[in-house]
């Protein structure tokens, strides 16, 4: 969600971006990327790691951080002039996460986008039934019902390396390679997850499913009319919406869908 803000900050500078290891391949073609595990940040109690980190940080003209780690901030205090941005909106600030990152940096672009090598689009629906927290997940039965209702439209399933699923599934650990694969599907359906945001950033038509555990207005993927973010208990509604988007490429919508609501073609895109 912070890609527009990162590009805005980096536009006039040679920039090095420190990231969690899984994200490094995804952004390495656009930025000089470094895995956080190799910086010493995670070993601040080790004197050698401290010396190495000080040496690396001292090589920069400016340091900008959303890294909300008090040990790191304390370590840097008095040694380096760090511009520190808040990783989450302040309490009482009703702002979408992408808007929050961009607003802090003065960036006017608010929609995350990502370019990767693209594959020809196939007539396939991709389903990702997981997320970073089980409380954000719709049940496997829910997704199975959606897939069955889409028949004869073919559905493929994707999961992370450690995510358990008792069916044929595609597992691509490298996030850049996963992003390339995502460009090949006609529609993506998934929970509120990083992969869902990745699909939206790639411009893939997306149905993002939210539970009551997430603030949908704050965390929904942003797009240019190709994202539907909904909260619903009706698998039939999701199936009908997916079929409409798959067949007609339109009628995206977002919001809470009351229990028992029937699908009706309309437009409320994000």
Whether 54 and 91 share a structural domain? yes
Provide the domain count of the chain. Answer: 2
Whether 23 and 80 share a structural domain? yes
Whether 91 and 146 share a structural domain? no
What share of the chain in percent tops pLDDT 90?
62
Whether 128 and 252 share a structural domain? yes
How confident is the model at residue 92, as a pLDDT? 81
E strand map for 165-205? 185-191
Sign of CA dihedral 105, 106, 112, 113: negative
Query: What is the phi/psi pair of residue 61, to 5°?
Result: -75, -30
Whether 73 and 174 share a structural domain? no
Least confident of 41-50, 52-61, 113-122, 257-266: 257-266
Whether 252 and 170 share a structural domain? yes
Whether 10 and 60 share a structural domain? yes
Predicted confidence (pLDDT) per residue in 157-200, tens digit? 998 887 888 788 889 999 999 999 999 999 999 999 999 999 99
| b/e code 56-72 from CB counts within 10 Å (16+ = b) | bbeeeeeebbeeeeeeb
> Distances in Å between the alpha carbon of 71 and those of 37, 52, 75?
15, 16, 6
Whether 128 and 198 share a structural domain? yes
Whether 177 and 215 share a structural domain? yes
Whether 133 and 233 share a structural domain? yes
128: CATH: 3.40.50.2000
How confident is the model at residue 235, as a pLDDT? 94
Q: Is residue 27 assigned to a domain?
A: yes
Whether 252 and 128 share a structural domain? yes
Average pLDDT, integer, range 82-111 = 90
What share of the chain in percent tops pLDDT 70?
92
Q: pLDDT grade, residue 251 (50/70/90)?
A: low
Pairing relationship of beta strands 82-84 and 122-128 according to DSSP bridges: unpaired
- Whether the ω angle into residue 152 lies within 30 degrees of 0, i.e. cis, is yes
Sign of CA dihedral 147, 148, 152, 156: positive
- The CB-based long-range contact list for 100-104 (8 Å cut-off, 24+ gap) reads 101/1, 101/2, 101/4, 101/5, 101/66, 102/4, 102/5, 102/8, 104/5
Whether 66 and 150 share a structural domain? no
Domain extent for 55:
3-105
Select from 212, 9, 38 the least CA-distant residue to 109.
9
């Amino acid at each position: 969600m912070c890609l527009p803000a990162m590009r805005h900050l980096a536009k006039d500078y040679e920039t090095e971006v420190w990231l969690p290891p899984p994200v490094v391949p995804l952004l390495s073609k656009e930025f000089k990327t470094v895995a956080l595990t190799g910086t010493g940040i995670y070993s601040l109690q080790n004197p050698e790691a401290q010396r190495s980190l000080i040496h690396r940080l001292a090589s920069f003209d400016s340091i900008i951080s959303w890294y909300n780690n008090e040990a790191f901030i304390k370590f840097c205090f008095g040694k380096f002039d760090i511009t520190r941005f808040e990783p989450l909106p302040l309490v009482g600030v009703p702002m979408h996460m992408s808007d929050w990152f961009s607003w802090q940096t003065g960036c006017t672009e608010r929609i995350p986008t990502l370019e990767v090598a693209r594959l020809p689009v196939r007539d396939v629906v991709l389903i990702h039934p997981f997320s970073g927290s089980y409380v954000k997940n719709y049940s496997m039965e829910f997704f199975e019902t959606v897939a069955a209702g889409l028949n004869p439209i073919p559905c493929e399933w994707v999961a992370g390396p450690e995510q358990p699923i008792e069916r044929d599934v595609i597992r691509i650990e490298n996030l850049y390679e996963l992003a390339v694969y995502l460009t090949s599907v006609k529609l993506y359906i998934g929970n509120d997850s990083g992969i869902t945001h990745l699909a939206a950033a790639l411009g893939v038509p997306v149905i993002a499913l939210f539970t009551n555990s997430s603030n949908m207005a704050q965390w929904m993927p942003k797009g240019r009319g190709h994202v539907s973010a909904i909260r619903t208990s009706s698998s039939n509604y999701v199936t009908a919406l997916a079929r409409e988007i798959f067949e007609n490429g339109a009628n995206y919508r977002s919001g809470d869908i009351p229990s028992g609501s029937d699908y009706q073609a309309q437009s409320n895109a994000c």
